[in-house]
Structures are given as C-alpha cells and as structure tokens.
Amino acid sequence: MSVVLIVEDELLELEFLKSIAAEELLPEDKLITCESGVQAVKLAKQYRPDVIVMDILIPEMDGLQALQEIKKFLPQVCVMILSACSEFSYAQKAIRLRVLEYMLKPVKPSVFKQAFRELLAAAAEVSKINDEEEIEEEKSDQIYLIEKSLNYIHDNFKQKLPLQLVSSKVFLNPQYFSRIFKKEVGVSYIDYVNKLKIEYACKLLETTDYPAYRISSECGFTDPSYFNRVFVQQMKMTPKAYRRKFLCDSDDKS
C-alpha cells in the first residue's frame, strides 16, 4: 500500500492534483491532503507517506521548511515540489533536500501525471530496498541469537536444559526459537542437545567405571531409562555394550 500526501492551499489546484493522483493509485492506497506546512509535518508523522507533493508558498510554515522537518523522520520519502516561484534559491534548497521533482506552476495534467507515476515507481523501489534490508537485518539478528544460544548450550548441556530456558536467555518466544533453531542449525533443538549429551556419555563410558545411571545424571538426564533410549537411538547399542566394545577394541590395539 502506498500513502500519498498532497500539500496545497489553493482549493482548485488541490482538487486538480487529487483527481490526477487518484487515477494512478490502487484501491488500497491512501491519499491524504492538507493546506499548511504545520499540518503537513503532523500528517507525515501520523501516516508516514511514501510520496509527498508539496507546494512551497503555504501558510504557517513554507513547503521547504516543512519538508526539512519531515526529512528528519522520513529521510527516504519521495518528494515532488510544485511552485509558482522560479527563484533559484528555492531550487537549490530543494536539491539539498533530495527532492526528486521540481515543477513550476501551472503544470499540464499530462506532465504531472507522468511525473507522479515516476514518483510512485521510485517510492516502490525504495520500499522494496527497505524490505530487503529489513529481511537481511532480521536474518542477521537470528544468526546472532542462535550463535549466542549455541554458546550457552555448549556451556550447560551437562545439566537439564529445557528449550524454554535457552530461549529465555536470548529473549525469544520458545516456539519461534525452536523454529529458527532448526532452520539455522539443521536439526531440532532436542536432537542437538541430546547429541552433545550422548557424546559426553561416550567419553565417560570410555574413561570412568561409572554405572549407567550415574552417567545419565552426569549428562543432565533425569530419567535413566530415557537416557538409555536416546543412547541406543544414536549409537545403535546400549551404554553397557558401548563400554564393552570400547574395552575390547582397546585390548586388541594393545
């Protein structure tokens, strides 16, 4: 949806501009108008237009002053200046404010229509670029938060580590965190954590004589039977069979 603001204090001129602009807009687009510079700044803050058509000699605050204020919070807004003034100083200031079109009144309908179309096209391109930048920024933020969560997981996987706890550490909703974790890491959160736990369990089976229930506890499992199921799922053998195989392999090597 495009939002267009027309600022013109002459009623006939305003109606002329509105009628042509309306022909180029889609039903979902919004067209708003006002007659003074102060109103223009207020409406720009409220509606954040993509396109502004601005007269210069308007009440309360001239068009260029109003535009200077608007550019502070809408720096990329696409602007057309329409003015009966041909003074070069106005044009200079308009250039500094990055006005896309500067047209002298009276302007022919066909000329205004073409310029307005180009303004809409420029605004659409700006919107597209902004959307792409927002997507890239969001993706960058996601990657940063996942990396932060991975660091936390690697530091704490030996204890009970529910998804809700880790998602809270990166200030994300658990469901959203779970979704982007799988997207960025390639496996589900629980599978990733369990893989770390089972890798550690294997090291303990190789280097200690701890019974399976203690190794289960050392790896952060609260239920030894669940630990056994996860171990078998990943290693295709029980913890006891893994230790026996490791000891046999070690004896063969020696």
The strand pairing partners of 55, in sequence order, are 82
pLDDT tens for residues 28-77?
999 999 999 999 999 999 999 999 999 988 888 888 899 999 999 999 99
Per-residue pLDDT at 253: 65
Which of 24-33, 80-89, 146-155 is the least confident region?
80-89
User: Residue 100 is inside which H or E element, if any?
Assistant: none
Domain at 191-253: CATH architecture = Orthogonal Bundle (1.10)
> Considering just the CA atoms, what is the radius of gyration of the chain in Å?
33
Q: What is the DSSP string of 149-194?
A: HHHHHHHHTTS---HHHHHHHTT--HHHHHHHHHHHHSS-HHHHHH
pLDDT 10s digits, 102-144: 888 888 999 999 999 999 999 999 999 999 999 999 999 999 9
Q: Taking the model in full, what pTM does it have?
A: 0.70
Q: Which helix (H) or strand (E) holds 247?
A: helix 239-253
- The residue ranking higher by pLDDT, 144 or 98, is 144
Average pLDDT over the chain reads 91
3-132 topology per CATH: Rossmann fold (3.40.50)
For residue 153, the model assigns a pLDDT of 97
pLDDT digits (tens, 9 = 90+) for 152-162: 999 999 999 99
CA distances from 99 to 7, 71, 132, 158, 243 (A): 15, 10, 24, 60, 75
What single letter denotes the amino acid at residue 43? Answer: L
Strand ranges inside 69-196, DSSP E? 78-83, 101-104
